[in-house]
Amino acid sequence: MNRITLSRFLLDAERQGQLADATLRELILTVANTCVAIGDAVNRGALAGVLGEAGTGNVQGEDQKKLDVIANDMLLEANEWTGQLAAMASEEMDDPYPIPAAYPQGPYLLLFDPLDGSSNIDVNISVGTIFSVLRAPEGKTGIEVADFLQRGTTQAAAGYVLYGPQTMLVLTSGHGVNGFTLDHGTGQFVLTHPLMRVPETAKEFAINMSNQRHWEAPVQRYVGELLSGKTGPRGKDFNMRWVASMVAEVHRILCRGGVFMYPKDSRDPSRPGKLRLMYEANPMSFIIEQAGGAASNGHGRILDLQPEGLHQRVAVFLGAREEVDLVTALHAD
Ligand code: AHM
Ligand code: MG
Q: Does 296 appear as a known binding residue?
A: no
Q: How many domains does the chain have?
A: 2
Q: Does 280 appear as a known binding residue?
A: yes
Does 169 share its domain with 302? Answer: no
Does 213 share its domain with 152? Answer: no
Q: What pLDDT shows up at residue 140?
A: 85
Does 177 share its domain with 28? Answer: yes
Does 209 share its domain with 184? Answer: no
Position 282: which residue type?
A: N
Q: What pLDDT shows up at residue 96?
A: 97
Q: What pLDDT shows up at residue 46?
A: 80
Give the lowest-confidence range in 6-15, 62-71, 102-111, 309-318. 62-71
| Ligand 1 nearest-atom number relative to CA 249 | 11
Q: What is the CATH number of the domain that holds 247?
A: 3.40.190.80
Average pLDDT over residues 46-59: 78
Average pLDDT over residues 26-36: 98
Q: Does 62 appear as a known binding residue?
A: no
Q: Which long-range contacts (CB under 8 A, 24 or more apart) does 191-194 make?
A: 191/3, 191/4, 191/5, 191/6, 191/9, 192/168, 193/168, 193/255
Instruction: Give the residue from 193, 225, 251 where a domain finishes.
Output: 193
Does 222 share its domain with 186? Answer: no
For the chain, the farthest-separated pair of C-alpha atoms sits apart, in whole angstroms, at 66
Q: Nearest ligand to the C-alpha of residue 117?
A: 1
Q: Does 83 appear as a known binding residue?
A: no
Task: Among 205, 246, 318, name the best residue to mutate to test ligand 1's pocket (greatest count of ligand atoms within 8 A of Cβ).
Answer: 246
At residue 112, what are phi and psi to the nearest 5 degrees? -150, 155
Does 119 share its domain with 231? Answer: no
Whether residue 243 is contained in a domain is answered as yes
Beta strands in 136-220 (DSSP E): 157-163, 167-172, 177-183, 188-193, 204-206
Q: What is the CB < 6 Å shell around ligand 1?
A: 62, 91, 113, 116-119, 208, 244-246, 262, 274
Whether residue 181 is contained in a domain is answered as yes
| Tens-digit pLDDT profile for residues 278-307 | 999 999 999 999 999 999 999 999 999 999
Q: Nearest ligand to the C-alpha of residue 279?
A: 2
Does 144 share its domain with 52? Answer: yes
Q: What pLDDT shows up at residue 333?
A: 81
Task: Among 69, 208, 288, name the best residue to mutate to test ligand 1's pocket (greatest count of ligand atoms within 8 A of Cβ).
Answer: 208
Tell me the pTM: 0.96
Instruction: Give the residue from 193, 225, 256 where a domain finishes.
Output: 193
Q: How far is the CA of 189 from the centre of ligand 2 (A)?
A: 23
Residues 66, 11: Cα–Cα separation, whole Å: 35
Does 276 share its domain with 311? Answer: yes
Q: Nearest ligand to the C-alpha of residue 58?
A: 1
Q: How far is the CA of 252 from the centre of ligand 2 (A)?
A: 17
* Mean pLDDT, the chain, integer: 95
Q: Which residues have CB less than 5 Å away from ligand 2 (the ion)?
A: 113, 116
Does 35 share its domain with 146? Answer: yes
Q: What is the CATH number of the domain that holds 166?
A: 3.30.540.10
Q: Nearest ligand to the C-alpha of residue 246?
A: 1
Q: What pLDDT shows up at residue 112?
A: 98
Domain that holds residue 122: 6-193
Does 62 share its domain with 120? Answer: yes
Q: Does 173 appear as a known binding residue?
A: no
The residue contributing the CA closest to ligand 1 atom 5 is 117
Instruction: Give the residue from 193, 219, 253 where a domain finishes.
Output: 193
Q: How far is the CA of 117 from the centre of ligand 1 (A)?
A: 5
Whether residue 53 is contained in a domain is answered as yes
| Tens-digit pLDDT profile for residues 59-75 | 776 777 889 999 999 99
Q: What pLDDT shows up at residue 158?
A: 98
Whether residue 198 is contained in a domain is answered as no
Whether residue 314 is contained in a domain is answered as yes
Q: Does 119 appear as a known binding residue?
A: yes
| Tens-digit pLDDT profile for residues 143-176 | 999 999 999 999 999 999 999 999 999 999 999 9
Whether residue 199 is contained in a domain is answered as no
Whether residue 112 is contained in a domain is answered as yes
Whether residue 188 is contained in a domain is answered as yes
Instruction: Look at 119 and 301; give whichever has higher pLDDT.
Output: 301
ipTM of the complex: 0.97
pLDDT band at 1 (very low <50, low <70, confident <90, very high): low
The residues near 244 (Cβ < 8 Å, ≥ 6 apart) are: 117, 119, 120, 125, 208
| Tens-digit pLDDT profile for residues 213-249 | 999 999 999 999 999 999 999 999 999 999 999 999 9
Q: What pLDDT shows up at residue 175?
A: 98
| % of the chain exceeding 90 in pLDDT | 88
Does 186 share its domain with 211? Answer: no
Average pLDDT over residues 88-107: 96
Does 209 share its domain with 303? Answer: yes
